[in-house]
Amino acid sequence: MSTINLTWTVVSDPDSFVAFQYYVKAGEVFDAHDYAVTYRLDRADLDADDLRATQDAAAKLNAGECLMVSHSIAT
C-alpha cells in the first residue's frame, strides 16, 4: 500500500499555467473522490491529514484565489 501525500499552493491567476493542474476555485470544496478519479488514484491511499489540510485551505480561499493541488506517492 502506498500513501499519497497532497500539497497545495494558493494562486491568484491559474490561467497563467500551461501544464494540466488540479484547481479548486474560491467558494468550491476540494473533492477527494474527484481528485482521485482525475489522477487514477485510490481514494483510500490519500493521507488523511493532508486531505483535511487541503479541504481547510480550500475553505479559506478569498475571492479571486484558487488552490492548486498536487500529490506525491510515498512507497
Instruction: Report the predicted TM-score, pTM, of the whole model to 2 decimal places.
Output: 0.88
What does the pLDDT average to over 51-69? 96
Task: Give me the residue spans of the domains in the chain.
Answer: 3-74
What tens digit of pLDDT does each residue of 5-48 get? 999 999 987 666 657 889 999 999 999 999 999 999 999 999 99
Is 16:68 a contact under the CB 8 Å cutoff?
A: no
Cell of residue 72, nine digits: 506525491
Residue 70: which H helix or E strand, with range? strand 66-74
pLDDT at 17: 65
Question: Would you give the distance in Å from CA 23 to the centre of its chain?
Answer: 7
